[in-house]
Amino acid sequence: MRLPLGFRAGAVAAGLKSSGALDLTVIENQGPLFDCAAVFTTNKVAAAPVMWSRQVAQGGIVRAAVLNSGGANACTGPQGFADTHTTAESVGELLSISSGEVIVCSTGLIGELLPMEKILAGLKLIAPALHNDALEISAQAIMTTDTVSKIATYNSHGAEMSGIAKGAGMLAPALATM
């Protein structure tokens, strides 16, 4: 499925999941507008990617999102936040954008550090292969216990909006783990 005009994406199986399934995706907004809106958990315990992405979203400008499944990077302490920062810096460098405009999202097992060498290697594979027809593979890359990918696209008055989601009971109540 195609992404809206101005967006491109890519996904790989970086080896975060033992199944060999897609587990890492990057979605880039090439503009001309970069405004963002985001909602996050109200839980007192927030994962490193949530803390990072809150800061980015407060700036109101997002040029890319990197999402992984197979590890939540939650309850991982200072190293987890450093890994999130490193991920954003890598995406920023590969796409020639500011790391402060990169949202980072992780889903999967809690309490384990991410295998950063696999993530960084995967990002290097994704960046040169970003394209407009990657909505489906991006949706697949964020699946954990999901049985189907979740995609929505809406067109109205010349504007198009698309979204992907991982869906599971762990989202309730009130985005508790997001």
**What's the rounded Cα separation, in Å, for the pair 171 and 138?**
19
- Which tokens is 3 given? 């992404």
**What's the rounded Cα separation, in Å, for the pair 96 and 60?**
19
Helix (H, G, I), strand (E, B) or coil at 118: helix
- Which tokens is 144 given? 């954990």
Could you tell me which residues are beta bridge partners of residue 67? 25, 105
Catalytic (active site) residue 177: yes
- Catalytic position from the list 84, 87, 107, 177: 177
What phi and psi values does residue 89 have, to the nearest 5 degrees? Answer: -65, -40
CB 16 within 8 A of CB 108: yes
The residues that are catalytic are: 177
